[in-house]
Structure 1
Amino acid sequence: HDDFHGSDGPIPVRRHPRETWLPLQSAFHAACVAEGFPQDPDMNSPEATGVGQFPLNYVDGVRVSTSIGHLESCRHRLNLTIKGDVLVHRVLFDGKRATGIEAESGGETFVVEGDEIILSAGAVASPQLLMLSGVGPGSNLDRVGISSVHNLEGVGLNLKNHPSLSLRFQPKAGYSLPPDSPRNQVALRFAAAGSTTRNDIQVQPLTSGPKGREADEIRVGCRLELPESAGELTLASADPMVQPKLDYQSLVQTQDRERMREAVRTCVRIFGHQGFQGIIEERISPSETDLASDTSLDAWLDRNIGVAGHTCGTCKMGPASDPAAVVDQYCRVHGLEGLRVIDASVMPEITRANTNATTIMIAERVADFIRNGDK
């Protein structure tokens, strides 16, 4: 145990020992070292960079969620009710004070009242719920016919995620990727040339197939960890069952595009190393034509770019003087009473890592505020 590593928290952290690495993972590690990247035995160290074991919150193949790690020991409490299969329609207000929520379950609509209402629906559903409740940009609410309770222009702005894509390789005949293989064992983190931030690129070879069947391709995930680009979430309908519109604006910023180009070319170079000769038959995508110029590579990026499962930022934390801010430092919604948002949507910037641990930290921190009566 030290300042950066716990030993008794609710979420375990595990790494695959080197002797358990699959051939693709071992070859990737060796190729990265041969390319001059440092070996990184602990990616949770503040100074970590390079290639090494990827820390995971898995035990016996099961990801330890907050439902398992935090809630399991609390489910019996008499002051806690957990109800599944519920769709929340909106937050209810008396003037500027939140008083409850309107929800639906099993075809029945009902109201739950409370002294304080907390939205923890995630960076897509929390801003959606605010807007469905009349809290958000007036122009967006007007467009779908929702009466405004409180004009808050920042709701849905600052939509962030990690731009991500996969390089694809044809494995050698007889080389298999069984569906029960570990998906992630080793990762590389490095800074793109000219970048002002460390570890803004992450690369991971994926060594398992789709659920229930073997993979017919080797895929290598490539991710931009600190994008400059930000998008917007807007309502498509006043119906809570209709998914809002998400426009991530991935790679719109020139710096993001330049860094992703370098990430792809670095991956191609790494996977050309001799250690893959018994594993990889050929590279499927990007092709040599795709790699021939920045213009052709940009076209390939545009065809293949997606995002990770790390949506955040849509209810940004910041001072009331910031027109894009939605909540204060205690996660209370600006201009309203009795309403907080506590999830990844409050992050002003996306993390240079998966968002899971940071989201848990936000919840634990604000839970302490509430429990101690600080705010």
Structure 2
Amino acid sequence: MSTDHYDYIIVGGGSAGSVLANRLSAQADKRVLLIEAGADTPDHDTPADILDGLQPWLPRQAGERYFWPGLNILRASEHPDIPREPQLYEQARILGGGSSVNMMVANRGLPRDYDEWARLGAQGWDWQGVLPYFRKLERDLDFGHSHPEQHGHDGPLPIARVDSRHWGSFTRASAQALHGEGLNDIVDQNGRYEDGYFAPTVAIENDQRVSSARAYLNAQVRARSNLNVWADTTVRQLTLSANRVTGVQAVRDGKQVAVTANEVILAAGALQSPAFLLRAGIGPADQLRDLGIDVIADRPGVGRNLWDHSSIGLSGTLHHPQVPSDEPGAAHLLAARVSSGVEADVQGDLYLGIAPNAALGLASAVLWVNKPSSSGHLRLRSKDPSEYPAVEFNLLSDRRDLDRLRQGLRVLARVFAHPAVAAFSSPPRLSRFAQASNDGPLLSELLANDAQLERYLRTHVGGVWHASGTCRIGHADDPQAVVDHTGRVHGVLGLRVADASVFPSIPTANTNLPTLMIAEKIADAILANA
């Protein structure tokens, strides 16, 4: 077993870890080690299915090649009449993490999301506190120079949209139907925060995916002598001395390796970062004792507050399989932010995406609860680091989310019934979000029967891989808080968390851009010796 020492060890080379490695290694006198369990993705050797920006679903067609194998979770909440089946959760295991396998949408969320964080105890994380870091991370190819108060123009991550003037006939027809619902084209979802439709913002340049690894770990950054990147290396556990984390134990090239550091930063995601804490004795004391784990810090919030966006999909058959052929060659052309009305003071709580898939002969839509009320939890099954935690998202545990999906489906039913859209597509059928099929029940039939609709939604509800919140930011005297406003773990020295785990609540957004922002802001705090 070998030993080496670093100033910072970063566990997880995903969206957050790539940012941290870049920013912290910019200090030439600080030694930084980034450890990633999956494969590396250097510029000269990024797999073609990862790089393709026009077919973002390709990584999921590669089986478990880019994901943690056998990671099963429970999505739906408990219900007396509906059995729950474990489902595979596709958590990325590759440099760049989720940004290497996701749908590439780069959405900030709404100012109210971050003002809510501040109210929940995340000091300095209100909208005015996070906006500079959203600007810092991005190079907005459309609005970076024209709207500098809102957008960045020289950050590592390119942000772009398809100009609506280039939309094809099906997308224009869908926009016409959304306009009939009282929605307008707000153009910039990251700069205008009311309801409306828009071309989604995406992290694509020259038709290629730009993951956080490509954006932050380019050849120049990798050439820094003080930065080491260990891919294909699995961290087994944290090393402690009393209540101080002193390093990690890992498996590299089949050998046990012990590495020490002044500070360890967990960036392993909302399902695995809390598992590291729990196995180290940081979490609910009663659960830890039941597993024979010595309690280092009694933090009941570790593993609680688990969020995702509940989702459902639908599709209709295109009347002519190759119609329309005039759409731009892009996966993301039209989406909408919509208020369900379930809670009058919660606006923009639904997200809709509509697109034709000529290759499959389908017109598809996805709907998710953009501001959910349901949350779940995770807990260790054992102290064995090779065993995943038990994960329950409890989607639709709060009935308001069921009502939100019902309202969103009514909107989509009217969109597909609009003459402009009906000219292209048959009446839609429901399906799981991840399935591109047209063999589910007719939407119109389920909307006519509330009991059947509820059963279908509870049985088929999906998520959108936005796991977050399990190590949330808050004050030390809040038992549900796990880290302070700089990511330091309460009651433990030498340890921070800096990924989507620290969200106090899930933003009204895809989570990749907020996760990059988290890493930028915590890196800044570390560099300022906060």
Contact 1:89 1:132 in 2 (8 A): no
Q: Check 1:177–1:149 CA distance in 2 against 1; reply closer, same or farther (3 A cut).
A: farther
Whole-Å separation in 1 of the counterparts to 2:324 and 2:278: 44
Whole-Å separation in 1 of the counterparts to 2:158 and 2:194: 20
| Uncovered stretches (5+) of structure 1, i.e. residues with no partner | none
What is the match of residue 332 of structure 1? 488
Contact 2:357 2:364 in 1 (8 A): no
1:271 aligns with 2:416: yes
What is the match of residue 184 of structure 1? 332
Secondary structure of the corresponding residue to residue 74 of structure 1:
helix
Shift of 1:248: 1.0
1:235-274: per-residue Cα shift (whole Å, max 9, x none)?
A: 2333333332221111111221111110111111111111
1:216-231 equivalent positions in 2, closer than 5 A:
216-231=361-376
What is the match of residue 36 of structure 1? 182
What is the match of residue 287 of structure 2? 140
Contact 1:28 1:205 in 2 (8 A): yes
1:173 aligns with 2:320: yes
1:332-370: per-residue Cα shift (whole Å, max 9, x none)?
A: 000000100000100001001111111111111111111
1:221-300 equivalent positions in 2, closer than 5 A:
221-285=366-430, 286-287=441-442, 288-300=444-456
Identity across the alignment (%): 33
Secondary structure of the corresponding residue to residue 122 of structure 1:
coil
Across the two proteins, how many residue pairs are aligned to each other? Answer: 369
Whole-Å separation in 2 of the counterparts to 1:207 and 1:173: 11
1:84-128: per-residue Cα shift (whole Å, max 9, x none)?
A: 001111111100001000111222111110001100111111111
Secondary structure of the corresponding residue to residue 323 of structure 1:
coil
| Uncovered stretches (5+) of structure 2, i.e. residues with no partner | 1-146, 431-440
Shift of 1:61: 2.8
Q: Check 1:6–1:167 CA distance in 2 against 1; reply closer, same or farther (3 A cut).
A: same
Contact 2:238 2:276 in 1 (8 A): yes
Q: Check 1:59–1:93 CA distance in 2 against 1; reply closer, same or farther (3 A cut).
A: same
Task: Say which structure, 1 or 2, has more relative contact order (CA 8 Å, 6+ apart).
Answer: 2
What is the match of residue 348 of structure 1? 504
Q: Check 1:372–1:228 CA distance in 2 against 1; reply closer, same or farther (3 A cut).
A: same
Contact 1:184 1:207 in 2 (8 A): no
1:116 aligns with 2:263: yes
Shift of 1:331: 0.6
What is the match of residue 158 of structure 1? 305
TM-score normalized by the length of structure 2: 0.66
1:86 aligns with 2:242: no
1:115-161: per-residue Cα shift (whole Å, max 9, x none)?
A: 01100111111111111222222343344443333322111100001
Which residue of 210, 213, 233 maps to 1:64? 210
1:308-330: per-residue Cα shift (whole Å, max 9, x none)?
A: 12111000110111111100111
Contact 1:169 1:281 in 2 (8 A): yes
Q: Which amino acid letter does the alignment assign opposite residue 360 of structure 2?
A: A
Whole-Å separation in 2 of the counterparts to 1:349 and 1:177: 40
Q: Which amino acid letter does the alignment assign opposite residue 62 of structure 1?
A: Q
TM-score normalized by the length of structure 1: 0.93
Could you say what the CA RMSD is over the residues aligned between the two structures, in angstroms?
A: 2.0
Range 180-189 or range 98-107, more displaced: 180-189
